[in-house]
Amino acid sequence: MNKTLLLASLAALASACATAPAPMMVDNMSLPETVRAPAGARQTMWTVGRGELTYECREKKDMAGQFEWAFAGPVATLYGADQKAVGKYYAGPTWEAMDGSKVTGKQVAVAPGGAGNIPLQLVKADPATGMGKMQGVAYIQRLNTKGGVAPSGMPCDAMTKGQRQQVTYAADYVFYGM
């Protein structure tokens, strides 16, 4: 192979690598202890979720006459390392792959996500439905959160009770099997 062809091939390979990042491998030991995947868990998939969290102005429980923006539900598209949609995330919480397999779960723990960001989260998954990427998922982490906190500067009182506001957010969702 001549030198010019070799250099052109190497440049093309380097360019391809720069536009298709490898999936992120999570270093659990660097995370807050509460949201670490349990010992023995193995990472099976990593996605980036981009979407909106909906908040509703509601009266506070056990505090008549006081109101707050309460979480009402999420909706996000999940993207793989190649920036292509691989699934969706919605109320339940539910993560659904494009192949139709899906998993729901229950929050186990949270840790601060930083000012202006929703918390990091660890979810214990229920058994998946459907055959596909979600089969065998036991835990899901929400990491690297950006935005998504309840509206600030928007009135929430008796006059606005029942109104909804959508707030954009992004987060990494990391899936683990046992």
11 Cβ neighbours under 8 A, 6+ residues apart: none
Give the alpha-carbon dihedral of 84, 138, 108, 113, to 10 degrees: -30
The pLDDT value given to residue 23: 58
Of 5-9, 29-33, 61-65, 162-166, least confident by mean pLDDT is 5-9
How far apart are the C-alpha atoms of 56 and 162, rounded to whole Å? 6
166, 33 contact by CB (below 8 A): no
Q: pTM of the prediction?
A: 0.84
Question: C-alpha dihedral over 123, 85, 132, 26, to 10 degrees?
Answer: -40
For residue range 114-140, list pLDDT tens digits in order. 999 999 999 999 999 999 999 999 999
**Tokens 């949201």 correspond to what residue?**
35
Model pLDDT, residue 24: 84
**Which residues lie across from 170 on neighbouring strands?**
50, 146
Read off the tokens for 158: 């008796």
Which bin fits 97, alpha (ψ -120 to 50), beta or left (φ > 0)?
A: beta
